[in-house]
């Protein structure tokens, strides 16, 4: 094979591509139902935006970005996540100077230069929403509810929502020192310590058993939360209760991006491999300011479309191919060929899905083709039809035939479909 797709990218082609479309549509539907508006930002941005926004010490920034120089010598990076670009756009276009909160959703490809594995790709598709400018626990709950509703529309059931509060800056700083000294005393290997020095919270995410054992008694952030943070977190939880959205408080839940503060959450699917987080997000208090905007809080989530599809498949959710053909026209003489496409185009103008048996497969072969592509009606065009000006529409579901006039085919279709 001469060419193959670059390592670690996912491709969606028929029929699976129609499930992919379906997932995106349900996600959009859920966001629109909550009055989020569509935003489309560039796939590449100034490298500095991500470095500042996502955080200089994060793995994403230090080793996972696709960065290159453009012809003008500027450093450009393919977006590794969605929030930084959206916030940049909100600031640049002054959306935060109108009514608040600004509620937007986005969808598209993202890029990270990592070693691929199940559910993790170098180019992956993410859907996300952001609500900027209002710091209200009810909004935190709403954001979670949007993802939850979407997953329910898709038929997913075997997942859990984990939530935690990372508190405000002050609470975090005190905890950080305490946790760091705990880690320093626990004699870890050098690599683990180095990582912890950058962001000690990450140690909670370490999957190695011996590490988990050692941090069993590590000080948790929840013990350091300011009373204000605690109250907000309680409100988020009681809001979720009222919405009857089940969740699990996971005090060790941390996220790999530096901008998160306050409420954080993850939707974790139970039947996926190591990469089981199908949606993750949280509140970010300092991000707007960091990127040069007003000091406004925001909250949002990123939702993995590839992983969602995998999750649906793991639950055995039946995904039907949505493509169908209303009318399939089979010309069986040379003179009929010219007319066939013309009639098909007319049907399309009339709002129907119409296709033609191109090439020379013969009648039988064309009938088989019609059968395979979920065709409602077939019209055979031969010399008889051309001379009489009428034909028989065959309904594939039961074989019944309807005689129709060729010149008023669209109307006839409307009448029987």
- Report, in Å, the least distance between residue 196 CB and RNA: 9
Applying CB under 7 A, among 7, 97, 322, 349 the residue interacting with RNA is 7
* 382 touching RNA, by CB under 7 A: yes
* 274 touching RNA, by CB under 7 A: yes
- CA dist list (Å): 278 to 12, 327, 369: 18, 39, 38
Applying CB under 7 A, among 206, 313, 315, 326 the residue interacting with RNA is 206
- Report, in Å, the least distance between residue 203 CB and RNA: 7
Rounded CA gap, 4 and 2, in Å?
Answer: 7
Rounded CA gap, 226 and 233, in Å?
Answer: 11
Q: Supply 60's token pair.
A: 């994403």
**How many binding residues for RNA (CB under 7 A)?**
69
Positions 66 through 85 that interact with RNA (CB under 7 A) = 81
| E strand segments, 206-360 | 248-249, 261-269, 277-284, 298-304, 325-331, 354-356
Rounded CA gap, 106 and 127, in Å?
Answer: 6
Applying CB under 7 A, among 312, 369, 409, 413 the residue interacting with RNA is 369
* 391 touching RNA, by CB under 7 A: yes
Cβ nearer to RNA, comparing 35 with 387: 387
- Report, in Å, the least distance between residue 57 CB and RNA: 10
80 with 257: CB under 8 angstroms?
A: no
Tell me the per-residue interface mask from 23 to 62 with RNA, x by CB under 7 A, - otherwise.
Answer: -----------------------------------xxx--
- Report, in Å, the least distance between residue 343 CB and RNA: 14
The counts of H helices and E strands in the chain are: 15, 16
Cβ nearer to RNA, comparing 152 with 238: 152
- Report, in Å, the least distance between residue 242 CB and RNA: 25
- CA dist list (Å): 163 to 141, 143, 182: 11, 12, 24
The CB-based long-range contact list for 1-7 (8 Å cut-off, 24+ gap) reads: 6/122, 6/123, 7/116, 7/122
Q: Applying CB under 7 A, which residues contact RNA?
A: 4, 7-8, 58-60, 64, 81, 112, 114-121, 124, 126, 195, 202-203, 205-208, 254-257, 266, 273-280, 302-304, 306-307, 332, 361-365, 367-372, 378, 380, 382-385, 391-392, 394, 396-399
């Amino acid at each position: 094979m001469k060419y193959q797709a670059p390592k670690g990218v996912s491709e969606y082609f028929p029929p699976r591509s129609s499930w992919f479309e379906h997932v995106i549509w349900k996600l959009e539907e859920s966001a629109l139902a909550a009055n989020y508006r569509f935003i489309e930002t560039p796939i590449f941005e100034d490298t500095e935006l991500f470095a500042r926004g996502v955080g200089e010490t994060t793995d994403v920034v230090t080793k996972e970005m696709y960065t290159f120089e453009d012809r003008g010598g500027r450093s450009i990076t393919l977006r590794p996540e969605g929030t930084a670009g959206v916030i940049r756009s909100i600031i640049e276009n002054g959306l935060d100077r109108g009514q608040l909160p600004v509620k937007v959703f986005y969808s598209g490809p993202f890029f990270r230069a990592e070693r691929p594995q199940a559910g993790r790709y170098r180019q992956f598709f993410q859907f996300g929403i952001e609500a900027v400018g209002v710091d209200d626990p009810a909004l935190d709950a709403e954001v979670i509810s949007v993802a939850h509703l979407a997953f329910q529309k898709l038929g997913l059931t075997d997942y859990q929502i984990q939530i935690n509060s990372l508190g405000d800056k002050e609470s975090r700083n005190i905890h950080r020192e305490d946790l760091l000294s705990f880690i320093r005393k626990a004699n870890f290997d050098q690599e683990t310590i180095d990582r912890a020095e950058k962001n000690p919270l990450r140690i909670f995410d370490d999957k190695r058993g011996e590490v988990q054992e050692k941090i069993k008694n590590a000080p948790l952030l929840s013990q350091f939360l300011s009373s204000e943070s605690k109250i907000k977190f309680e409100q988020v939880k009681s809001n979720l209760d009222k919405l009857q959205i089940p969740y699990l408080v996971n005090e060790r839940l941390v996220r790999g991006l530096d901008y998160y503060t306050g409420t954080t959450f993850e939707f974790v699917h139970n039947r996926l491999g190591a990469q089981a987080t199908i949606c993750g997000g949280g509140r970010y208090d300092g991000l707007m300011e960091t990127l040069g905007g007003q000091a406004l809080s925001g909250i949002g989530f990123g939702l993995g479309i590839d992983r969602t599809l995998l999750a649906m498949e793991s639950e055995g959710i039946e995904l039907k191919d949505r493509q169908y053909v209303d009318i399939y026209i089979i010309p069986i003489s040379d003179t009929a060929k010219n007319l066939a496409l013309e009639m098909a185009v007319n049907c399309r103008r009339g709002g129907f899905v119409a296709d033609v048996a191109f090439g020379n497969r013969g009648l039988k072969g064309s009938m088989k083709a019609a059968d395979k592509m979920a065709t409602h009606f077939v019209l055979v065009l031969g010399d008889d039809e051309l001379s009489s000006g009428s034909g028989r529409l065959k309904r594939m579901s039961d074989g019944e035939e309807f005689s129709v006039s060729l010149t008023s085919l669209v109307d006839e279709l409307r009448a029987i479909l």
